[in-house]
Amino acid sequence: MVEAGGGLLFWMDYRKSRRYEAHLRAGIAPILADGRVEGSGWVLQAQILAEIQYLGRYLDCSELGCNEDTTGLAGRVGLEALRWSRSGRSAFTTRLSVGYMIPLDQTVTGYGRDIAGRDDLHSSMDVALDIGIAFR
């Protein structure tokens, strides 16, 4: 299995914290249950994925702010339910997963980068509910 994607997150006060995310994932997705009849129907599969992830954060480190760009390696495990179409070539998907990322490279720019007490990103853990489309 191979996938690419991204996202944008605005925190409660969008002016103080914005986050961007992009990823490229690859791994295995063994089928746990297969309810397809003649190509269409439900499939439940587990997923174990390795990932290259980019996180961009705008932080209100000071009144002038700073940007933090992080690239890292991640692992992700999850369960995905797919509803395959009648043609069997596309599916509607929902996935619940947990991921953990360790940074490889981090760059901080902006006026707030030298402020004492600003925390670097040492690792990142997330729980995700994804909705999408799969193709065969």
pLDDT in tens, 98-130: 999 999 988 877 765 565 555 667 888 888 898
CB of 64 closer than 8 Å to CB of 110: yes
Question: Is 0.85 topped by the overall pTM?
Answer: no
Q: Which of 56, 31, 53, 63 is nearest to 44 (CA)?
A: 31
Q: Give me the amino acid identity at 56.
A: G
Which segments within the chain are labelled E, that is strand? 2-10, 17-28, 31-34, 41-59, 66-84, 90-110, 124-135
Compare 57 and 89 and report the one with higher pLDDT. 89
* Position 20 confidence tier, pLDDT thresholds 50, 70, 90: confident
**Is residue 15's pLDDT more than 80?**
no
Measure the CA–CA gap between 97 and 131, rounded to whole angstroms: 12
Share of the chain above pLDDT 90, in %: 43
Measure the CA–CA gap between 74 and 25, rounded to whole angstroms: 9
